[in-house]
A and B are shown apart, each in its own frame.
Chain A
Amino acid sequence: MTALAHAAVDPGADPAAPAPRATKRSWTAYVLLLPGALWLGVFFLLPLVQLASVSLQSRYPGFPGYYYRDVNLDNYASALTDYAPHFARSFLYAGLATLLAFVVAYPLAYAMAFKAGRWRNLMMICVIAPFFTSFILRTFAWSQILADEGWVAGTLNFLHLLPGGNIINTPVAVIAGLTYNFLPFMVLPIYASLERADPRVIEAGGDLYANGFTTFRTVTLPMSMPGVLAGTLLTFIPAAGDFVNMELLGPQRGKMVGNVINDQFLAIPGGYPVAAALSFTLMAAILVMVFLYVRRFGTEELV
């Protein structure tokens, strides 16, 4: 039904109702798109095509480090079978880290948006400050903090609260590292969506007989869903492909797929094709998951 028809049958329609915008296309738009399209083409599409091509190549027998043009689907077969547990682990750890980050980030973002007052800027700085040092250095710092003879493990051991005797080199440390490293990516979008919310809309919940918790559940939380959605994606996607946390904080057994890709690229002669196939599979798997996720929980802002 068109807006016009509405107006004809319904006095509720008024002249200020937004009419569908005229779909006038101008060449200016395409010219403005050009730099971005070029950028994407050169720095995204081209490497992607190259990666796709490599992922189908074969190792050169007898020449470590060499591979040749081929259509070798074994790389993908290997990615899907040999490395299925690594994929599963990556998604499990990334999922848990995302969940934990959400649990930590939401109250933090909520406090920043509604309760912090003059402390808000300071809190914001505290959330962003870690970005001023490198990701690897921060993770390395955690490997020192959580070390067996560090005070964290020392204290817990003293209190007999650490059954394994160590924190570092356990999956728990990896998930904690992932949570820590990607926390700001969760906090900031949620904060932005809460901060943007009209406080009157939240008051309206109370005015319409919803108590504090019900207002949160039926108004505040749904209104911040775009931020939650963006935050979970920004956390889950890099966490699923991460190898640094596993490398520095993880155990020797039970690697994530990022570690396999890293080793195939760098430590195994001629591992490029398998690494490329793994990268592609990871990309595709994440794309599918993100698609389903956004379809299920998405809002207009993101779909």
Chain B
Amino acid sequence: MAGFREASGDLQLESVTKTFGDFTAVDDIDLHVPRGSFFALLGPSGCGKTTTLRMIAGLEQPTAGRVLIGDTDLTGSRPYERPVNTVFQSYALFPHLNIRDNVAFGPKRRKAADTAKRTDDALELVQMSGFATRKPSQLSGGQQQRVALARALVNHPEVLLLDEPLGALDLKLRREMQVELKRIQTEVGLTFIHVTHDQEEAMTMADTVAVMNRGHIEQLGAPAALYDLPRTRFVANFLGQANTGVGIIKDTDGDHIVADVLGTPVKILKSRSQVHDGEVLFGVRPEKVTVSRTQPEGAGNDVKGVVRDVSFLGVATSYLVDMPSGTTWSCYEQNLDVEPLDLRPGDEVWLTWNAGHAFGVPA
């Protein structure tokens, strides 16, 4: 294949910017994705994640910056010259070709000697061998998704790009496919770049998640780290739920800072707060909050509130509690006790949490 560039190694984006007219879709991002990792680009629609993906694929060219795999600079090369393949949103299978020909499309273009075997193997991998002679229109969404995956994987790309690959599937199937994708990634050991707006999906599958917003990468890290310690207000709110309040830092207490949130003093570990004076957005995750009828002893971080709503979820119970400050907190209690709390809307309750679980981000 003329023009095809062999490349191997980590994927790197260096100061990549993409503008469309006046609109900056991707704003000077740097990214380093180690070879063989499962990397998720997470963000709301319009955050620039798909544009980033398309620049890696070669479907768009960056306005500035470079795209590299290993030491090979791929900037400016055409999609068909890159060792990169894409699983497109809504799959983009070739409607006029049967499943086998869809999968064999890439190897045939590259004149691979073992096209037939590779095609069989790829179909086998996604468990679609029995459908080789069907047309895409005769398959369900999940089946088409598998074919799209096989069609990309069969080429053994250095980087596999997945653009909202599970977006069109129903919840149950999505769960199954998440596990399946993870299995395949582990099996083939390729670099996967997964674009999604579904934070749960990103957290379930990826080794590393980059949260994007307005063309920037807000925060990058392991899913648990991102969840536990968000560093921006956007990440705090986008990734899971958080009970938050804006406060003013008044004091310090050993390892903690003390902030006044609408009249209630709260403590945050200095190491878990991005700001140490002035305004801070205090936050604590719902499952880190304990609900009780009486004020627990000795705990520093507690607030009195009024139950607004109770939802029994089986493994847990979810409460909505109106706070004196006027905000509503969400609390998530595991149903560990034999005797439940038996709270009803209108009951007064005390909310407590471990100061070590709270976090502070710039307000």
Contacts and interface: CB of A to CB of B under 8 A. Distances in A.
A17 B130 CA distance: 14
Given A207-B57, A214-B109, A12 B131 contact: yes
A196 to B, nearest CB: 10
A219 interface: yes
Interface stretch (B19-27, B88-96, B240-248): B88-96
A34 interface: no
Size bin of chain A's contact surface: 20 to 34
Contacts of A300: 135
Interface stretch (B139-147, B206-214, B265-273, B283-291): B139-147
Interface residues of B, number: 44
B143 A203 contact: no
A198 B135 CA distance: 16
A168 to B, nearest CB: 43
A209 interface: yes
A208 B92 contact: no
A10 interface: yes
A211 interface: yes
Nearest to B80: A209
Contact of B92 (A13, A16, A203): A203
B78 A11 contact: no
B196 interface: no
Nearest to A16: B140
Interface in B45-84: 57-59, 78-80, 84
A14 B140 contact: yes
Nearest to B88: A200
A200 B89 contact: yes
A210 B90 contact: no
A198 B141 CA distance: 16
A204 interface: yes
Interface string A197-240: 01011011111111100100011001101000000000000000
Nearest to A211: B80
B204 interface: no
A17 to B, nearest CB: 4
Contact of B105 (A18, A211, A218): A218
B140 A18 contact: yes
A149 B170 CA distance: 71
Given A200-B89, A223-B94, A208 B105 contact: yes
Interface of A: 6, 9-14, 16-18, 198, 200-201, 203-211, 214, 218-219, 222-223, 225, 299-300
10 contacts: A17-B140, A203-B59, A204-B93, A204-B151, A206-B59, A206-B78, A207-B86, A209-B1, A209-B110, A300-B135
Q: Which 5 residue pairs of A and B lie closest in terms of their CB atoms, listed nearest first? A: A200-B92, A209-B109, A208-B106, A16-B140, A206-B79
Interface of B: 1, 3-4, 57-59, 78-80, 84-86, 88-90, 92-97, 105-106, 109-110, 126-131, 135, 138-143, 146, 151-152, 155, 170, 173
